[in-house]
């Protein structure tokens, strides 16, 4: 058995909440602000995200830890200090080698917590945030989050400062949520709660357009911090209300759900009008000027912008509207732009969802009912729509970020005697295969696709300098070439029912030698009813392709039906997994 890795704690004293037993190997005592700042900075510099998560929530198993590490990154440790004034604070920071890189911003969340705790008016507590940057063990950017409440000599706030220094109730660890959306956030919150963390407040900070979710760490935690924060960019107050147990009224909840279609169309309109290309992320643009740029009715655009601001796609300031990080993904010039996806979901797939009830009653996809043919045939007959669909698939390319490093591909590229060819079956325009070949120069590739898709793939692969190492082969699933070392089926099986999946897998199994590997990339349905992107996509597949998302167990059964064996799985981005299969021994 492997021994549990030991968490390296700061060598200096460190804050601890009252009533929390210290698990560090050093004494934990209350010290002055400068010592506490120095200890926090040392802690932030030393921690690695996955190891720290394992110590915050000791009950995490391997797959859960990988899933959390994929969605969260350790961002900062926080503490509350009480300088006499801003100059004194900056002097203390400098003494610890900490240099804030921006003007202090108001802290709404900590201000309100202190006001409630000590029965003060919030207006009397001018709590500010500074975030001096430090570097983690791999050079990643992190911060020490410093909440500061100025307490000049003789101030009536001195009693608050003494109590808070003694108990350090605002000290916490923080993890930033990557690519937050309501489904991801609910899943993360449920995961923390499942392992003993309890909700301990939170709030939305309009000055930063960010939502924080606080937890009290479980009693088994192996860090000296008793509180944990999840930080998500954007306004997520509906999820926050659930976190705080302030569930909205049923009628309000249902109204919000019923307006989901408006969100889809607002995002599609944003993309169609090319608002992201006309906006800046740092300088605001007034709505009338923006209307002239994109050729829109000024009042109509103002209404749309207010709604987009509520969604967190744009933000509004005194100088006008700016683009947020989420909104920037709709810019056609962005790497892996999601603009084509917005136009697909707001276009053909939006129209087909009007026939969801028909799909549920009959089992026939709503898309087929509306257009009279399946979506692959429909798109193939419309070059413009086919191009939009292919580009929308590339929008999910971050899903592939970790896949080229999968041990199966590394082994194929490095182990003597292994076949060096990777076949991407129905691999679209070659986004995944291109990444694999770029990461492993010793490998060659075969992209098996329909002719019109290969026409779009050819310039993409040529631009990456891979045209000499990648064969473009026109064909169907029955044409899987034999003798390769690795076969890829990425987001293919979920398009089809079980019988068609078995047919596809049998073609792959027939082409595989006994030592060949198959990597299947799909989202996995949860078995415990937890919120999941796969659950949403399961509905999408029902209405648009006649396919379905599946559990890992269901995929294992389908593989077994075809003489294949599921031998491992690894989490990827955007809720996906890589399922590793091999031919079952005779």
Cα-Cα-Cα-Cα torsion 392, 577, 488, 363, nearest 10 degrees, comes to -60
Residue 31: burial class (beta carbons within 10 Å; 0-12, 13-18, 19+)? middle
Which three-class secondary structure state does DSSP give residue 286? coil
Which are the contacts of 107, defined by CB distance < 8 A and separation ≥ 6? 127, 128, 129, 147, 205
In Å, how far are 212, 473, 508, 509 from 426, measured between CA atoms? 41, 10, 12, 15
In a domain, 380, yes or no: yes
In a domain, 516, yes or no: yes
Instruction: Verify that 263 and 370 share a domain, yes or no.
Output: yes
Instruction: Verify that 111 and 169 share a domain, yes or no.
Output: yes
Q: Which residue has the tokens 């729509």?
A: 385
Instruction: Verify that 351 and 448 share a domain, yes or no.
Output: no
- The C-alpha atoms of residue 163 and residue 63 are separated, in whole angstroms, by 41
Q: What share of the chain is helix, strand, coil (3-state, %, to 5)?
A: 45, 20, 35
Q: How many domains does the chain have?
A: 3
Q: What is the CATH number of the domain that holds 378?
A: 1.10.10.10
Q: So which residues are the catalytic ones? A: 494
Q: Compute the average pLDDT of residues 512-537.
A: 90
In sequence order, what E strands does 452-531 have? 470-474, 486-490, 517-523
Instruction: Verify that 365 and 494 share a domain, yes or no.
Output: no
Tokens found for residue 105: 């911003």
pLDDT in tens, 85-103: 888 888 888 888 888 666 6
Instruction: Verify that 497 and 416 share a domain, yes or no.
Output: yes
pLDDT in tens, 213-236: 999 998 888 888 889 999 999 989
In a domain, 193, yes or no: yes
In a domain, 578, yes or no: yes
Instruction: Verify that 342 and 379 share a domain, yes or no.
Output: yes
Domain boundary among 389, 406, 423: 389
- Phi, psi at residue 331, to the nearest 5°? -75, 125
pLDDT in tens, 371-405: 999 888 898 888 888 888 888 887 777 778 889 99
The pTM (predicted TM-score) of the whole model is 0.59
In a domain, 13, yes or no: no
Residue 6: burial class (beta carbons within 10 Å; 0-12, 13-18, 19+)? exposed
Specify the range with the lowest mean pLDDT, choosing from 86-90, 101-105, 265-269, 293-297.
101-105
551: domain range?
397-583
Q: Compute the average pLDDT of residues 437-460.
A: 94
Domain boundary among 389, 409, 430: 389
Beta-bridge partners for 127: 149
**Cα angle for residues 333, 439, 511 (degrees, 5° grid):** 110
pLDDT in tens, 16-31: 222 333 333 222 333 4
Structure confidence at residue 585 (pLDDT): 87
Q: What is the CATH number of the domain that holds 485?
A: 3.40.50.150
Instruction: Verify that 92 and 175 share a domain, yes or no.
Output: yes
- Which CB contacts under 8 angstroms, 24+ apart, belong to 449-455? 449/473, 449/474, 449/475, 450/380, 450/474, 450/476, 452/380, 452/383, 452/386, 453/386, 453/390, 453/428, 453/429
Percent over 70 (pLDDT), the chain: 93
DSSP alpha helix (H) spans, 244-346: 250-258, 260-272, 275-278, 287-294, 298-311, 325-328, 339-345
In a domain, 21, yes or no: no
Domain boundary among 371, 389, 407: 389
Structure confidence at residue 30 (pLDDT): 34
**Cα angle for residues 358, 553, 447 (degrees, 5° grid):** 80
């Amino acid at each position: 058995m492997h021994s549990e890795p030991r968490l390296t704690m700061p060598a200096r004293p460190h804050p601890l909440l009252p009533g929390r037993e210290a698990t560090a190997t050093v004494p934990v005592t209350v010290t002055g602000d400068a010592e506490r700042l120095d200890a926090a900075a040392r802690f932030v510099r030393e921690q690695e995200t996955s190891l720290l998560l394992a110590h915050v929530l000791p009950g995490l198993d391997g797959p859960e830890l990988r899933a959390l590490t994929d969605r969260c990154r350790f961002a900062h440790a926080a503490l509350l200090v009480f300088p006499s004034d801003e100059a004194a604070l900056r002097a203390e920071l400098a003494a610890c080698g900490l240099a804030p890189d921006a003007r202090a911003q108001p802290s709404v969340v900590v201000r309100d917590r202190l006001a409630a705790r000590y029965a003060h008016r919030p207006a009397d507590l001018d709590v500010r945030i500074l975030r001096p940057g430090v570097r983690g063990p791999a050079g990643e950017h992190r911060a020490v989050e410093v909440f500061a409440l100025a307490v000049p000599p003789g101030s009536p706030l001195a009693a608050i400062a003494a109590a808070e220094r003694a108990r350090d109730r605002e000290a916490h660890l923080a993890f930033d949520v990557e690519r937050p959306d309501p489904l991801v956030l609910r899943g993360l919150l449920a995961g923390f709660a499942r392992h003993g963390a309890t909700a301990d407040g939170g709030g939305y900070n309009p000055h930063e357009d960010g939502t924080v979710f606080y937890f009290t760490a479980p009693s088994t935690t192996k860090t000296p911090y008793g509180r944990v924060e999840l930080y998500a960019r954007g306004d997520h107050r509906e999820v926050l209300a659930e976190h705080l147990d302030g569930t909205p009224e049923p009628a309000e909840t249902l109204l919000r759900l019923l307006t989901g279609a408006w969100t889809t169309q607002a995002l599609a309109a944003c993309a169609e009008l090319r608002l992201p290309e006309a906006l800046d992320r740092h300088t605001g643009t007034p709505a009338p000027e923006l209307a002239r740029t994109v050729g829109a009715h000024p009042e109509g655009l103002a209404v749309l912008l207010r709604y987009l601001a509520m969604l967190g796609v744009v933000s509004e300031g005194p100088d006008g509207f700016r683009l947020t990080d989420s909104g920037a993904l709709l810019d056609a010039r962005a790497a892996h732009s999601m603009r084509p996806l917005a136009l697909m979901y707001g276009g053909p797939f939006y129209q087909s969802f009007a026939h969801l009830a028909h799909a549920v009653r009959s089992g026939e996809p709503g898309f087929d009912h509306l257009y009279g043919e399946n979506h692959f045939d429909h798109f193939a007959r419309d070059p413009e729509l086919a191009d939009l669909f292919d580009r929308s698939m590339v929008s999910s390319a971050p899903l592939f970020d970790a896949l080229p490093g999968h041990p199966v591909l590394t082994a194929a590229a490095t182990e003597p005697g292994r076949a060096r060819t990777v076949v991407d079956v129905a691999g679209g325009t070659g986004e995944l295969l291109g990444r694999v070949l770029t990461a492993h120069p010793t490998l060659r590739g075969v992209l098996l696709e329909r002719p019109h898709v290969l026409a779009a793939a050819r310039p993409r692969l040529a631009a990456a300098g891979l045209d000499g190492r990648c064969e473009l082969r026109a064909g169907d699933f029955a044409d899987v070439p034999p003798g390769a070392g690795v076969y890829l089926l990425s987001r293919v099986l979920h398009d089809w029912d079980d019988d068609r999946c078995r047919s596809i897998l049998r073609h792959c199994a027939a082409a595989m030698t006994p030592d060949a590997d198959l990597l299947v990339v799909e989202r996995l349905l949860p078995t415990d009813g937890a919120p999941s992107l796969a659950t949403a996509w399961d509905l999408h597949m029902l209405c648009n392709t006649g396919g379905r998302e599946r559990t890992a167990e269901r995929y294992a059964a389908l593989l077994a039906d075809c003489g294949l064996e599921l031998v491992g799985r690894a989490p990827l981005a955007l809720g996906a997994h890589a399922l590793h299969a091999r031919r079952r021994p005779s």
